Structure 1
Amino acid sequence: MKLFGLGTVALYSFPSMAFNTQKSDTLELIGKGNPTVFGNGFSLRKEAYDAFVKMTAAAAKDGIEIHPVSSYRNYAHQNRIWERKYKRFTKQGLSPIKAIEKIIAYSTIPGTSRHHWATDIDIIDKSASYSGDVLVPEKFHGDGPFCKLREWLETNANTYDFYIVYTDDAHRKGFEYEPWHYSYAPLSKPMLKEYRKLDIKKMLQAEKLMGSEHFDENFINSYIKENILDINPELL
C-alpha cells in the first residue's frame, strides 16, 4: 500500500482491483479487495469522498462539524469486531445463537458489511458536547448532542447523494435504526446490485467464523432478506 499526500487529503493507492461500476470485483464486495480510497482520518472512494467534503463544508456553515467515526472497513477489521462481541456475549452467559442475534442488531457478519465498499460512513457532530458511546440513537434525538446534526442531515444529506441506510421505520426488519450511518447512493446502489449476484449462502457457510456452525439455511435466508436488503428503499 502506498500513501500519497494531497494537501489535507490522503490517497491510499493499492496495486489492483479498483471498483468498476460495470463489473465490480468480488473481493472488494466482501471486504477482501484493495480499493483506492481517499480521506484524512477516514476512507471513501473518490466520488463519495468529493461529495462528503462538499456536504461537510455546507454543514460547517450551519455550525455543524461533521466528523467521521467509521468508514471503510476491510474483512479482517469486521471480523475483529465480530469476534470481540461474540466472545464478550458468550462469556456473559448467552448461548451462541443468542449471542449472534445480539451482534446482528447493529453489527454485520464479516463479508456482508456495506462498510467493505468504501461508500458508507458513520458520522457525529464533533462541535457538540458529548461523552461515552456516540453511536447510540438516543444521542441523536430529544436533548441528545447530535440532534442538530440529525435534523440537518434529514434536510440536506440527499442533496449530496447521501442517504440514511437503516431508517426509523417500525415495519423495517434487520439492523436497528442508525441515524449516524449514511451511504453514497451513486456508488453503493450498483455495488449492492452486484453483491446480490453473489452466492452469499455459500460464502457464509464456507467462512470459519466464530459461531458460524449455527448459520443454517433458515438463518442465512433471513439475514439476507432482513439485514442486507431491508434498508432505505432509496438505496435499493
Structure 2
Amino acid sequence: MKRRTFVKSTVFTTVAIGILPSSLLASSGDYSYDELIGKGKPKLFGEGINLRKEAYESFLEMKNAASREKLDIKIVSSYRDFYRQKGIWERKYKQYTNDGLAPQQAISKIIEYSTIPGTSRHHWATDIDIIDGAAGYSGNDVLDAKKFHGDGPFRPLKEWLDENVNTYGFYLVYTDNPGRKGFKYEPWHYSYAPVSVPMLDAYKKLKVKEIITAEKVAGAAHFTDDFIEMYRKENILDINPHLLP
C-alpha cells in the first residue's frame, strides 16, 4: 500500500478517537529551531499553495474531491515566514497605537486573530486559510466567520469540510468549542495533522520568551512573563485537541 493511501485510510479510521497513530508522526528531531520559528527554508510545493510535500499532496486530493461537488477550495494564506509575520504584526501594532490604544490594548487586539512572529503555525507550511473560490462574495474581508455560516457564501464549503476534511488529515485549528481561549474562532484555518502535530511537539520544547523578544518585535517591551505564559497556554496550545501531541 502506498504511504499516501495508508495515511488517508489510517487518519480516517482514527478520527473517532481523535488520536493520530505514532507511525504517522515525524520525529520531533527532524525540525530545526529556525524551521520551527519561521526562519528556515522548507521545500514548498504547488504554485499558490506552498505546503510541505505530504500536506500538498493531500490538499490536492481534497481539492479534487471538493471540485466534484462544485466547490473550489482556494487558499488565501499558507506558508508565511518570520519576516512576513513580523510585517503583519508591526503594521497592526502601529495602526492600533496610532488610533490611541495603549500598547497592552493594541497587543490584546492583535492576538484576537494574529500571532506574534516566531509563534505562527503558518511558519510550518502545514496550515492553510481557505475559502470557496467558486462562490460569489462581496468585500475584501473574506476571512469573516459570518461568511461560513447561515446564508454566507462559504457555508456549503464549510458543511462539506465538516464531513470530509479529516479524511485528508486536515483539522480545524481554532474551533468554536465552548470554553476554548486564545485566538478567536477561525472556520477557515485548517492544519495538516500528520506533520503539524510533531512540529508542535518540537515547538513546545522551545522557550517562547526568547523567541518573541530576540528580534525586538514592536511591543515586546510589554511582553511580561505572565503575558507570555498566558499566550503560550491559550494562543499556542488551546487548539483543537486532534492537533495536540
TM-score under structure 1 normalisation? 0.90
The ranges of structure 1 where at least 4 consecutive aligned residues each deviate by more than 6 angstroms after the TM superposition are none
Q: Which of 98, 107, 111 does residue 104 from structure 1 map onto? A: 111
Match of 1:183 in 2: 191
Distance (whole Å) between structure 2 residues aligned to residue 100 and residue 136 of structure 1: 21
Distance 1:153 1:39 in 2: 21
Aligned residue runs from structure 1 range 1-236, under 5 A? 22-132=29-139, 133-236=141-244
CA deviation after TM superposition for structure 1 residue 193, in Å: 0.2
Per-residue deviation, 1:207 = 2.6
Residues 73-103 of structure 1 show CA distances to partners (whole Å, capped at 9, x for unaligned) of 0000000100111111111111111000000
In structure 1, what is the Cα distance between the partners aligned to 2:221 and 2:179? 30
**1:21 CA displacement:** 5.0
Give percent identity, aligned residues only: 61
TM-score using structure 2 length: 0.87
- Tell me, what secondary structure is at the counterpart of 1:38? coil
Which structure carries more helix by proportion? 2
Tell me, in whole angstroms, the C-alpha distance in 2 between the residues paired with 1:162 and 1:72: 15
Counterpart Cα distance in 2 of 1:129 and 1:31: 34
> What is the CA-CA distance between 1:169 and the residue it aligns to?
1.2
Task: Give structure 2 stretches of 5+ with no counterpart.
Answer: 1-25
Matched residue count: 218
The answer to whether the 8 Å contact 1:21/1:187 transfers is: no
Provide structure 1 residue ranges, at least 5 long, that are not aligned to the other structure. 1-18
3-state SS of paired residue (1:62): coil
Retained in 2: the 8 A contact 1:71–1:122?
Answer: yes
Contact 2:51/2:79 (<8 A) preserved: yes
